[in-house]
């Protein structure tokens, strides 16, 4: 499962970041920040999907020694990033897609809330619950 889940606004500032409790949480913030260039490159090159150009799933953005970073972008250019441990070989691409779809559906629910101001940080308990279900359980 995920060790970090992030939602990044169209203007590239974080709307939501949740990490596993660790002494090095700043590393995940840095990882999410560095993947924004890769996301922008994939979006601008038009290589979003081999079969379907409307595919929102960007796939593996880049692997590091310890983690793999996956990306997803909505039609409104809001970016979702999920970081998983490289040692987790049981997680398949279809499961990552499912995680992104659940995250996107929950995000849409947050945006449909009349009390949420678009562009503000996400403070929804139901969104946090969806994210916590994706996180690594200790």
Q: Name the nearest CA neighbour of 2 among 108, 89, 92, 99.
A: 99
Inter-helix orientation angle 125-134/93-112, to 10°: 170
Q: Rounded CA gap, 14 and 6, in Å?
A: 7
Domains of the chain: 2-134 (3.30.450.70)
Q: What is the pLDDT of residue 52?
A: 56
Rounded Cα distance, 26 and 12, in Å: 17
Distance in angstroms (rounded) separating the CA atoms of residues 71 and 57: 7
* pLDDT of amino acid 74: 93
* pLDDT tens-place values along the chain, 138 residues long: 899 999 999 999 999 999 998 888 899 999 999 999 999 998 887 654 445 555 789 999 999 888 999 999 999 999 999 999 988 877 888 899 999 999 999 999 999 999 999 899 999 999 999 999 999 765
DSSP one-letter string for 28-64:
HHHHHHHHHHHHHHHHHHT-S-SS-TT--EEEEEEE-
pLDDT for 71:
96
Residue 7: DSSP 8-state: E
């Amino acid at each position: 499962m995920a060790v970090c889940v992030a939602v990044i606004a169209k203007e590239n500032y974080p709307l939501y970041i949740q990490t596993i409790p660790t002494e090095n949480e700043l590393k995940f913030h840095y990882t999410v920040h560095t993947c924004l260039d890769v996301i922008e490159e994939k979006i601008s090159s038009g290589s979003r999907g081999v079969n379907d150009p409307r595919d929102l799933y960007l796939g593996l953005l880049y692997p590091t020694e310890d983690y793999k970073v996956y990306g997803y972008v909505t039609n409104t250019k809001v970016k979702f990033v999920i970081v998983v441990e490289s040692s987790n070989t049981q997680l398949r691409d279809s499961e990552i897609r499912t995680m992104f779809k659940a995250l996107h559906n929950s995000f849409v629910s947050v945006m449909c809330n009349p009390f949420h101001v678009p562009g503000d940080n996400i403070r929804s308990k139901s969104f946090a619950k969806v994210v916590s279900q994706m996180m690594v359980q200790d």
